[in-house]
Amino acid sequence: MVASAVELRLRNSRRDTANQFVSAEAVTSWRRIYNSRAKAQYFLARGFALDRDSTYYFFLTMITLSIDGRAVTVPNGATILDAARGLAIDVPTLCWYPRLPVVGSCRLCLVSVAGAPKLMAACAAQAEEGMAVETETPAAVANRRSVLGLLLERYPTDRLAPDGQDVAVGAAGFDGGGPNEFERLLRRYAVPLRPERHHELALRTGDERPGDPMIRHDMSTCILCTRCVRACADLQVVGVLDVAQRGERAEIVVGGDGDPDHAACTWCGECVRVCPTGAIHEVLPPRRFPKERVAAPERAVRSVCPYCGVGCQVDLHVRENAVVRVTSPWIEEDTPNSGSTCVKGRFGYDFPQHRDRLRAPLIRRGWVKRRDRWRYEGPAAERRRGPWLSIDDEGERPKPRPPERAVGKPLASLSHIPRGPDDVRDRVATPASWYEPFREATWDEAMELVSQELSRIRRERGPDALAVFCSAKCTNEENYVLQRMFRAGFNTNNVDHCTRLCHSSSVAAMQRALNTSAASGSMREVEEVSDVIFVAGANVTEAHPVFGAAVKRAQRRGAKLIVADTRRIELAQRADIHLHLLPGTDVALFNAMLWHIITRDLHDRAFIAGRTHGFDAVRAAVEPYTLQRAQTITGVPAADIAQAAELFARGPRSSTLWAMGLTQHAAGTDIVASLLNLILATGMIGRWGAAMIPIRGQNNVQGASDVGAIPMFYTDYQSVADPAVRRRFATAWRVPEESLSLTPGLRVTEVVAEGSPVRGMYIFGENPIISDPDVAHAEHWFQALEFLAVQDLFLTETARLADVVLPGASYAEKDGTFVNTERRIQRVRKACEPPGEARGDLEILIELSNRAGLPAPFADPREVMEEIAAVTPSWAGVTYERLDMAGLQYPVPDRESGGAAFLFADRFPTGDGRGTMVPVEYLPPSELPNDQYPFMMNTGRQLYHWHTGTMTRRAKGLDAREPVPTVELNPADAAELGVFDGDPVRLVSRRNAILIAARISDRVQRRQLFLPFHFREAAANLLTNPALDPYAKIPEFKCCAVRVEGAA
């Protein structure tokens, strides 16, 4: 095919080479072509490889038509509207929205086509060769005025924005804001308001979501475009909203009975995003954000969501130095989330303004300065104590019952929620008494004390008596400066962060097999190309909801979904095959799948021969894992294992996603290794559509590891034990070579352990008191430290033990970069200033570094990135300018490189380019149920909370949805125990006990429990088993034997 002009233009605007904003026309064309399975089959039949390029460009034919007298060439299949948008001709639309199914029902976009008897709907009519379209003929305009006039007839006049008021920034329309999308069209077509016949038809009604903590409806302004219905059903694949009734009484309803909870709403706010009139709008906590402040934000700042690893871009609306609203980028912009967000991203933005924010440095009372030196003169016995209950003590305290949910019911119908000391709505705030052991200090005092004590411990007890926890929530630049300070300034490699507790076993296994530590592919290929998606141990729809929706869309497109999970989570219910295994039996499952694939001769012999080592050993190792044996071990029917194995191996493009369900085991590295064997033996890696994605749980856990916040590597996973590497870093940091330690440092779980040499710690934005296993023990360990400094937003459970607390900045108050789960480096932009005297984290760290004697010559994060790029080969081509828009997916070895959407097409980054398969054997979890502890407990995340709850529990809307800790209990077990929903139960493990409310749910199997770990008052990690993986030192969070006692 001769390349047409348009095709060439598209080629030139390729995302991965030019990395620039592409025209709307190009994007719609890509989407259309991408989604065309018929065309894909056409090309497959002709032997085209379905790689990234050919899927983009296989237009079969191009057609030329004229619109308003201008010629335009579009791929066959494009609509008139697509063609018009390509010419930047603005055909008005209401029901049409990019990527939503076309219904063509608002009848606004009707245009005149020469020779056609009637006006045609531009959004639905296909463009045809030689078509002559006029978009603003008298007939078309008359029709538009008619449509708008009919809609205006039922629109509340008092809601119309006053004339002359400007459009709110990025606003799709909000109470009191400028004219919304519909009103702008009224103005464009000068539709007259005719008060004398107004309201001959009643204002529209609909379900209102009374009492909803995040989303409300004002259906009098609904124009029934049904975008919300389609966004809910087709973008988020949930289907809460629908149109009920007919004729003039037609209205948008929420589920069958108006209760979004019953309709499985996830509060993602996609409906809010697409609503053209603001009839569906977000609730803004009225006291915290008076309505007028939302009306006209001063500016909107593009940034990245601070929660999970998907890396959604969001627009932060700022007014009076506060984020007052979060909106989505336009759906056609090139963002990893296509502008979607989840409930946390859209509604969890108010924590930076929470009254608990630290506004000044805190120093523990008892520290006094005498003759230029700080010394602790307080009573030693009360050191690190305070007027609070320890996590341990809180565990067994009585808890309030989960409140009745307010949504869908008039507030009056709700039972009284008790106010007072036990008011569930206030219990997460920092109690006033927590501040008692502290006094406010100046920055100079605090900095001086921190640098004095860290230096003293280093001097008196040696460098390895110091340790630092970096933060997966903070930017690359901050983590880089922090690890640089401890490595070069304090000469220790005791640098780690919470990756240890999540994907360290994945990294260990991937390093061993492929010498890589990040995803091989992109989320987009999973959504758009993969034929089979294997999700193992990942509750994607709750922990990474935007990616979860993409997986659901992929399944709707026709991809097969295999889910291996101990719980019947949403994806498991939707899966084509749910491998409902017993906890911790993953190795047996994956080995059996591989052996079945080998017996069926479905393994990829060419890939194994050309790209891997060690297949024979693995083959011998998996041979004993027959389907029957696997069925016995895992509890999964042999037929399901066989079917899943065959489906995965046949592909032709199978992607593999996994998360904590595999990694947080004492055999975590083995489990991931057995999965990698499966991937390598079937060759399901290194092609577009065959991705290997360990889904990252935190906004920058990938980046923090990449920039060296782990004990054994400098940036880019360059070993600290390699003298050549050390030499390079010593030169870059301008320090003597021997000042950098060649000994890999201690890992999180080794630092916080009996017999650890660490005496002084700096903790940056982490909360190990909640997140470490067996926290009762960890709490005691931290209390015994000589010195503890914590840099955080709030006085967390960890910070309250500190000697010095430095108030830092939230994601909205800083510049920098995050790396998402698909290796995408994205810009985070400062929207407002930290409150009070709180400072930017980078600023704090630079000053500390300077005080510690290691000059950090950086004026801003941009300069830090320049140094990172200089010492990090795979980031060598990264500059802030190049990170605009969608960022870059590293490796970016030079300024010309546009990053890589997928890796390993030809070789793995190992010495000889081959991957290594490592034989692994199944080992049962280190703690199994017995008569005394008959339940197997699993821990993890809920949709509405994130990690230790420091942020989400201070976000009003999120906290309203899950205000108290609950444990999921199978109905049959509950019946046996005589426990009803909401009743308190006592969970006892070999280590500790907690009191918690039961949530009866058949998502868990019998004799299993699921306990979220976000809640300090019933900390899951009081119970968990600190057994460690031998390679990655990751604890066994996912399996622990407990006993359940009805506590009533």
Partner 1 sequence: MGYPHPTHPKETPVLSRHFGDSDARSFDGWKRRGGYASLEKALGMSREQVTEEVKTSGLRGRGGAGFPCGLKWTFMPKQRTQPHYLCVNADESEPGTFKDREIMRWTPHAVIEGAAIAAYAIQAEQTYVYIRGEFTEAIAIMQQALDEAYIKGVLGINAMGKGVRIDMTIHRGAGAYICGEETALMNSIEGKRGNPRIRPPFPAASGLFGCPTTINNVETLAAVPPIIEQGGAWYRAICLSNPNSTGTKLFSVCGTVRSPGTYEVAMGFPLKDLVHDLAGGMRPGRRLKAVIPGGSSVPILTADEAEATLLDYEGCVARGTMLGSGGVIVMDDSVDMVYQIMRLARFYAHESCAQCTQCREGTAWTTKILQRILHGQGKLEDLDLLLDLSEQMTGTTICVLSDSCAAPVVSGIRKFRDEFEAYIDSGRAVAQV
Q: Which residues bind partner 1 (CB under 8 A)?
A: 102-108, 110, 117-119, 121, 124, 126, 143, 146-147, 150-151, 153-154, 200-201, 223-224, 226, 242-243, 245-248, 250
Q: Which helix (H) or strand (E) holds 646?
A: helix 638-650
Q: Which two tokens stand for residue 112?
A: 């005149």
Q: Which two tokens stand for residue 780?
A: 């005691």
Q: Please give the backbone phi and psi of residue 5, each rounded to the nearest 5 degrees, phi first.
A: -60, -40
How many helical (H) and strand (E) elements, i.e. helices and strands, does the chain have?
Answer: 36, 39
For partner 1, give the closer residue by CB, 120 or 343.
120
* Least gap, CB of 226 to partner 1 (angstroms): 8
Q: Using CA atoms, how far apart are residues 817 and 480, in angstroms rounded to an integer?
A: 11
* Least gap, CB of 1021 to partner 1 (angstroms): 46
* Least gap, CB of 96 to partner 1 (angstroms): 12
* Least gap, CB of 124 to partner 1 (angstroms): 5
* Least gap, CB of 146 to partner 1 (angstroms): 4
* Least gap, CB of 105 to partner 1 (angstroms): 4
What angle in degrees, to the nearest 10, is found between the helix axes of 668-682 and 615-622? 110
Residue 784 burial by Cβ neighbours in a 10 Å radius (0-12, 13-18, 19+): exposed
Strand (E) positions, 943-1034?
Answer: 966-969, 984-989, 993-1000, 1008-1012, 1025-1028
Beta carbons within 8 Å of 912's beta carbon, 6+ residues apart? none
Q: Using CA atoms, how far apart are residues 1 and 76, in angstroms rounded to an integer?
A: 14
Q: Using CA atoms, how far apart are residues 942 and 945, in angstroms rounded to an integer?
A: 6
Answer whether 499's CB lies under 8 Å from 620's CB.
no
Q: Using CA atoms, how far apart are residues 1008 and 1041, in angstroms rounded to an integer?
A: 9
* Least gap, CB of 574 to partner 1 (angstroms): 18
* Least gap, CB of 141 to partner 1 (angstroms): 13
For partner 1, give the closer residue by CB, 128 or 616.
128
Q: Please give the backbone phi and psi of residue 280, each rounded to the nearest 5 degrees, phi first.
A: -105, 120
For partner 1, give the closer residue by CB, 147 or 801.
147
For partner 1, give the closer residue by CB, 153 or 981.
153
For partner 1, give the closer residue by CB, 242 or 968.
242
For partner 1, give the closer residue by CB, 102 or 732.
102
CA distances from 533 to 599, 625, 847, 860, 897 (A): 22, 23, 47, 42, 29
Residue 461 burial by Cβ neighbours in a 10 Å radius (0-12, 13-18, 19+): middle
Q: Which two tokens stand for residue 901?
A: 């959407």
Answer whether 538's CB lies under 8 Å from 695's CB.
yes
For partner 1, give the closer residue by CB, 559 or 608.
559
Q: Which two tokens stand for residue 613?
A: 């080592």
Answer whether 498's CB lies under 8 Å from 699's CB.
no
For partner 1, give the closer residue by CB, 233 or 308.
233
For partner 1, give the closer residue by CB, 91 or 223.
223
DSSP type of residue 980: -
* Least gap, CB of 194 to partner 1 (angstroms): 10
* Least gap, CB of 118 to partner 1 (angstroms): 5
* Least gap, CB of 106 to partner 1 (angstroms): 6
* Least gap, CB of 61 to partner 1 (angstroms): 18
Pick from 574, 588, 598: which is nearest to 648 by CA?
Answer: 598
Q: Please give the backbone phi and psi of residue 356, each rounded to the nearest 5 degrees, phi first.
A: -75, -10
For partner 1, give the closer residue by CB, 263 or 308.
263
Answer whether 1038's CB lies under 8 Å from 584's CB.
yes
Answer whether 130's CB lies under 8 Å from 72's CB.
no
Neighbours of 620 (CB within 10 A): 10
> Which is it for strands 215-217 and 280-282: parallel, antiparallel or unpaired?
antiparallel
For partner 1, give the closer residue by CB, 251 or 837.
251
User: Using CA atoms in the order 179, 182, 188, 190, what is the torsion angle rounded to 10 degrees?
Assistant: -100
For partner 1, give the closer residue by CB, 242 or 797.
242
* Least gap, CB of 200 to partner 1 (angstroms): 5
* Least gap, CB of 866 to partner 1 (angstroms): 54
For partner 1, give the closer residue by CB, 252 or 272.
252
Omega prior to 652 cis, within 30 of 0:
yes
Q: Which helix (H) or strand (E) holds 1044?
A: strand 1040-1046
Q: Give the up-direction half-sphere exposure of residue 904: CA atoms within 13 A in the CB hemisphere.
A: 33
Q: Using CA atoms, how far apart are residues 789 and 783, in angstroms rounded to an integer?
A: 12
Q: Which two tokens stand for residue 798?
A: 């960890």
> Which is it for strands 1008-1012 and 935-940: parallel, antiparallel or unpaired?
parallel
* Least gap, CB of 113 to partner 1 (angstroms): 13
Q: Please give the backbone phi and psi of residue 957, each rounded to the nearest 5 degrees, phi first.
A: -65, -45
For partner 1, give the closer residue by CB, 200 or 754.
200
For partner 1, give the closer residue by CB, 141 or 295.
141
* Least gap, CB of 107 to partner 1 (angstroms): 5
Q: Which two tokens stand for residue 415?
A: 């039972």
Q: Using CA atoms, how far apart are residues 551 and 569, in angstroms rounded to an integer?
A: 14
For partner 1, give the closer residue by CB, 222 or 294.
222
Q: Which two tokens stand for residue 855?
A: 């000059």
* Least gap, CB of 223 to partner 1 (angstroms): 8
Q: Using CA atoms, how far apart are residues 207 and 202, in angstroms rounded to an integer?
A: 16
For partner 1, give the closer residue by CB, 257 or 616.
257
